[in-house]
């Protein structure tokens, strides 16, 4: 795998535009899940999902897998938040015994990307669904994976699983997800990976304008689309959970901390304190990934320091977000 990359942040050189802005690579493996010809069959024990606890794109799939009870249908492999020190950008199974995934028997995620497509030149990314029959990558489409879990994977949902992507809200959810992606989820990376002051400032302004807008939206709604948690909330949450601990100082998104926005902060804690969110949020992995792993210090005489702050116990503090809701439950459960 040939890759031109920056040593100081894990993006490839091809992801930096002429104007210095960060353009995230497109997903290579995007075949949909479904039961039609040419789609990836929805089958229990057929796939292995690989995630990294630090990665917001992977985290969203693990939250949805947990909320919907897909743990028994889709197994989970975990790569370390600490990137391996290799010539190319990679993820390593260094948390596992003998540093190999016990099911796939590989040390680095690139191995399976390369096996799948020897000409693949992008970064190997998480989340990724591996077909255990072929041992190949079948889908790394982080933008759509949760929607497959929420829809075509419903035969394997647990009893009483909520509807995170209700038909009547899909248009609104899709529209908002697109906004959240460009200005917030990827917006923080556009700040952190910018290679010109102008592109950084443009991303910074778009990010905070959008956060200000959502702060206002969340002053009257408990969740983004009303009384119930939806797919949009999962997507916003994974960035909010990383904001104060990582992006504010690691990616220069330092107009305000999330804990300085009263509604966003109450909302973020409301989600954190909900099963599936807080119990899959690993602040230690997040901090180590963004502050130590992602910035390789090229001066070997310097020790990489892990910032001790911020105080993360505050995530368990009380909020009164339920007062904004007319419902007792925060999930929409439709009996089938």
Contact residues for a second copy, defined by CB under 8 A: 6-9, 13, 20, 194-197, 200-201, 204-205, 248-249, 252-257, 260, 297-299, 301-303, 305-311
CB-wise, 156 or 193, nearer to a second copy? 193
Q: Could you tell me which residues are beta bridge partners of residue 76?
A: 49
CB-wise, 7 or 86, nearer to a second copy? 7
- Give min distance, CB of 197 to a second copy, in A: 6
- Give min distance, CB of 54 to a second copy, in A: 18
- Give min distance, CB of 240 to a second copy, in A: 17
CB-wise, 300 or 336, nearer to a second copy? 300
- Give min distance, CB of 1 to a second copy, in A: 20
- Give min distance, CB of 321 to a second copy, in A: 21
SS (H, E, C) the chain: CCCCECCCCCCEHHHECCCCCECCCCCCCECCECCCCCCECCCCCCEEEEEECCCHHHHHHHHHHHHHCCCCCCEEEEECCCCCCCCCCCCECCCCHHHCCCCCCCCEHHHHHHHHCCCCCCCCCCCEEEECCCCEEEECCCCCHHHHHHCCCHHHCCCCCCCCCCHHHHHHHHHHHHHHHHHHHCHHHHHHCCCCHHHHHHHHHHHHHHHHHHHHHCCCCCECCECCCCHHHHHHHHHHHHHHHHHHHHCCCCCCCHHHCHHHHHHHHHHHCCCCCHHHCCHHHHHHHHHHHCCCCCCCCCCCCCCCCCCCHHHHCCCCHHHHCCCCCCCCCCCC
- Give min distance, CB of 253 to a second copy, in A: 8
Residue 189 annotated to the active site: yes
Name the pairing type of β-strands 47-52 and 75-79: parallel
CB-wise, 167 or 302, nearer to a second copy? 302
CB-wise, 146 or 239, nearer to a second copy? 239
The residue from 47, 113, 148, 189 that is catalytic is 189
The residue from 47, 55, 142, 191 that is catalytic is 55
CB-wise, 163 or 244, nearer to a second copy? 244
Residue 52 annotated to the active site: no
Active site residues: 55, 189
């Amino acid at each position: 795998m040939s890759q031109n990359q920056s040593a100081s942040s894990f993006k490839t050189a091809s992801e930096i535009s002429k104007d210095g802005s960060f353009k995230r690579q497109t997903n290579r493996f995007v075949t949909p899940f479904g039961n039609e010809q040419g789609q990836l069959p929805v089958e229990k024990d057929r796939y292995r999902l690989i995630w990294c606890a630090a990665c917001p794109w992977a985290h969203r799939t693990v939250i949805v897998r947990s909320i919907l009870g897909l743990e028994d249908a889709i197994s989970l492999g975990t790569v370390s938040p600490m990137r391996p020190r290799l010539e190319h950008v990679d993820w390593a199974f260094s948390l596992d015994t003998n540093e190999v995934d016990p099911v796939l028997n590989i040390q680095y995620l690139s191995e399976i990307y390369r096996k799948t497509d020897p000409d693949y030149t992008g970064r190997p990314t998480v989340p990724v669904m591996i077909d255990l029959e072929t041992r190949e990558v079948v889908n790394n489409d982080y933008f759509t994976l949760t929607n497959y879990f929420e829809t075509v994977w419903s035969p394997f949902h647990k009893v009483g699983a909520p509807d995170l992507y209700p038909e009547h809200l899909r248009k609104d959810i899709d529209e908002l997800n697109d906004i959240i992606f460009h200005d917030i989820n990827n917006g923080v990376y556009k700040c952190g990976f910018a290679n010109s002051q102008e592109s950084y400032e443009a991303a910074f302004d778009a990010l905070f304008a959008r956060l200000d807008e959502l702060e206002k939206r969340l002053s009257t709604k408990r969740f983004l689309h009303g009384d119930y948690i939806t797919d949009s909330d999962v997507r916003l949450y994974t960035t909010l959970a990383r904001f104060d601990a990582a992006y504010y100082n690691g990616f220069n998104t330092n107009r305000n901390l999330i804990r300085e926005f009263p509604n966003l902060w109450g909302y973020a804690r409301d989600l954190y304190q909900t099963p599936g969110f807080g119990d899959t949020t690993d602040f230690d992995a997040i901090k180590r990934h963004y502050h130590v792993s992602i910035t390789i210090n090229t001066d070997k005489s310097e020790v990489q320091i892990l910032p001790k702050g911020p105080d993360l116990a505050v995530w368990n503090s009380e909020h009164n977000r339920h007062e904004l809701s007319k419902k007792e439950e925060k999930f929409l459960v439709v009996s089938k």
